Structure 1
C-alpha cells in the first residue's frame, strides 16, 4: 500500500496510509471466509487501481444478508473457517469486521465502503482520496509556479515547494528532517528555487540561524 504525507496540527508532516490497514485486511479476510466454495473455476481477486481497491469473492451474499443490510446483519456461510480465523485473531465476531470497515473509512475521511453483487460475485470497493490530494497539491502551487516550470523541476525541488507552502516559516532543518536528504542537497535546491523566484529567503545573512523560507507571490 502507498503512503502519503499529511500536515498535522503541529505543522509537521506525518505518513498517512492510502487506506486504513484494518479496512483492506478485513476485505481480504471476508473474501476468504464468506466465499462460496461450491463454485469452481473462479477465485478470489484483489485489484488495485489509482483511486480504489476492489475485492471480489465467488458466490452471492449468504442467506439473509443483502448489500443494504450488510452493516447490521450477522450470518456466516462458512462458520468453521470463521471460527478458526477468529481463534487466530484474524476475524472479529460475526459482522463486527464490516462495521469496523465503515468506521475506519469514515475516520480517514474516505467514502463509505461499497458492497455490490455483480452476477454471482460479491464485490467490495474501497475508494481513496487521491483526487483530493491532487487538488490540494495544485492549490499549494497555484500562482507560484507555472506547469511548464513545475515539470522541469526534480522531485526533491517539487517536494520542497510543497513543504514550504504548507509549513509556516519552513526552515532548512525542517526540510532535511522531512525529506531525509543531506544539508548540501537541500541547500542546492533552495538556492535554485530562490533564484527562480519560486521561494523567498528570509534571512539577514548566509548563516542566519533564524532563516526560513516562504513561497513567492
Structure 2
C-alpha cells in the first residue's frame, strides 16, 4: 500500500537527513525531462528491490548536494510528454507495469513533489525495453553491472511468489486432504512414508507446505503443483490451464472448452493427453494399412505447454496459461513477457521467474533440463517439416503459435525466412554448418533446385537474420550463421 500524504510529510524530512543520495532515493529540483524520469523510475524500482526497501523515491524540490528544501515548479498533474499525460506515458513505457504515485506537498513552506515507486516484483523493470539501476548517485544500464544483476535476481528469489501462503491455519488432515501427495511421491520415484509425519516432513522440505504456530500453511508452490482441486485455493483458481478447441481458423465458434481442475504436476499428464486428443491428425495410406499421424509432434506440444506453465508471471492476476486449437494452428500462451529476447530462445542461457517451481517440475520429469526445451522444439519442427513457431508478445502475454504443415510454396516470405533462421540457430548450437545443402535438406528441395535454396538464404541475409560467416568464401564453401553469431567485425544491429 502506498503512503498517505501525512506519512509522506513525515518521511520527506527524514530522507533529507540521509548523508547522501542512496540507491533507492534520488533528489531533483526542476529537472523534469520525461526520459530522465523514465530511466530513474526503472533504476529506483530495481535498486529498491536489491536494497530490500518497501519503495523507491524520486523527489523534486530538494537540492542534491545539500539536501536543502528549496522547492520546485514541477506540477506532475499538468506535465505532459507530447500530448500524453506524463504519468500515463510513463506507465505505458515501463515493463512490467508497477505502481507509481505522484504527490505534491508543502514541506518547510516549499512545494515538494514525491514520486513513490513500487520495487520490482519478479523481474527487472525496463524503460523503453532497457533495464536500469542506481550506481551511487548515477543511473546506469543494469546489463553493464553483473554484480547488481545477480543481487537483483537473488532478491527476487528471496521474495519468491512460491513461498507465499495459498491457504493458512490448516490441520494435518486438511493439508493431506487438499494436496495430492501420493502424486508427489510417485513422480519423484520415492516410497510413500509410513505415517503422516513422514509425508508432511517431505512436503515441507520441498517448500510445498510451511509450519505455522500450531498449524500448517500450504504455499503457492504446493497449491499450484499438487492441488486436488485448484478451486479450493481462491488465489490460484484463475491460474488453472485452459484448453479451447475452435471450429475453423477463428474464435467465432467454440467446440470444446476445458479448465484444468488439478495442480500442474499432478494433472500434467492428463492435460497433455487431453490436448493431444483435440489436435487434428492426418491419415497416410500405405500398401496395406491406413495410419493416423499427429499433425503436431507430441514432444513439441509437451515442451511448449510445460514452458507456458513454468515461465508465466504469477504477478499478473486474473490470467493463466492457455492452449487454443484451430484447424490450421495451435496457440499456446501464458501471462508475462519472456525474460530473454524472443529471437534468442534457442541459444540464450535460460532465465526463469519461477526457478523453485521449474526445479521441482524437472525432478518430477514434467520438463527437460535447463535450456534444452527449445532445442528439442526446433529439432522436432525441422524433422516434421513444419514452419518455425511464431513467438509474439504483448504487454502481459507471450504466445507461441504452431503452424500446420505446409509446402514451401504455400509458406509466406516471413515464414520461410523464420524457418531458415531457426535452422541456422539450431545448427549453431549443435556445431553444425548452415549451407545451401542443409537448407535443401530442411525444406526437401531437390539438388537440381539449388537456386531455390540460395534465394531462401539471400532473403534471410537481407532481413538481417543470418550472415555469411566468410563473405569471400567460394560458393561451394559458403556457410551462414545467425546474426548473433556473426564475427565481431560484422555484427548486425537489430
**What is the CA distance between 1:70 and its match in structure 2?**
1.0
Instruction: Answer with 89-98 or 28-37: which moved more.
Output: 89-98
Count of residue pairs brought into register by the alignment: 129
| Aligned match of 2:300 | 23
Out of 382, 389, 393, the position equivalent to 1:117 is 393
| Aligned match of 1:58 | 335
Unaligned runs of 5+ in 2: 1-278, 411-494
For residues 198-217 of structure 1, give each alpha carbon's deviation from its aligned partner in whole angstroms, at most 9, with x where no partner exists.
xxxxxxxxxxxxxxxxxxxx
| Aligned match of 1:33 | 310
Matched, 1:67 2:345: no
Q: How does 1:31-180 map to 2 (within 5 A)?
A: 31-62=308-339, 65-73=340-348, 74-129=350-405
CA distance in structure 1 between the partners assigned to 2:314 and 2:284 by the alignment: 42
**What is the CA distance between 1:2 and its match in structure 2?**
2.6
RMSD: 1.9
User: 1:76 touches 1:94 (CA, 8 Å); kept in 2?
Assistant: no
**What is the CA distance between 1:14 and its match in structure 2?**
2.6
For residues 2-59 of structure 1, give each alpha carbon's deviation from its aligned partner in whole angstroms, at most 9, with x where no partner exists.
3211256x67543210200011111111001000001101121211111100011101
CA distance in structure 1 between the partners assigned to 2:399 and 2:284 by the alignment: 30
User: 1:111 touches 1:127 (CA, 8 Å); kept in 2?
Assistant: yes
CA distance in structure 1 between the partners assigned to 2:380 and 2:345 by the alignment: 16
| Aligned match of 1:188 | none
SS across alignment from 2:323: strand
SS across alignment from 2:342: coil
User: 2:283 touches 2:291 (CA, 8 Å); kept in 1?
Assistant: yes
| Aligned match of 1:198 | none
Give TM-score scaled by structure 1 length.
0.55
CA distance in structure 1 between the partners assigned to 2:388 and 2:290 by the alignment: 26
Unaligned runs of 5+ in 1: 136-217
SS across alignment from 1:25: helix
Larger radius of gyration: 2
Q: Which runs of at least 4 in structure 1 moved beyond 6 Å after TM superposition?
A: none
SS across alignment from 2:337: coil
SS across alignment from 1:4: strand
**What is the CA distance between 1:91 and its match in structure 2?**
0.9
Give TM-score scaled by structure 2 length.
0.25
SS across alignment from 1:85: helix
User: 2:322 touches 2:334 (CA, 8 Å); kept in 1?
Assistant: yes
For residues 48-80 of structure 1, give each alpha carbon's deviation from its aligned partner in whole angstroms, at most 9, with x where no partner exists.
111100011101112xx1111111112222111
Higher normalized contact order (CA 8 Å, seq sep 6+, divided by chain length): 1
For residues 143-185 of structure 1, give each alpha carbon's deviation from its aligned partner in whole angstroms, at most 9, with x where no partner exists.
xxxxxxxxxxxxxxxxxxxxxxxxxxxxxxxxxxxxxxxxxxx
**What is the CA distance between 1:110 and its match in structure 2?**
0.5
**What is the CA distance between 1:121 and its match in structure 2?**
0.7
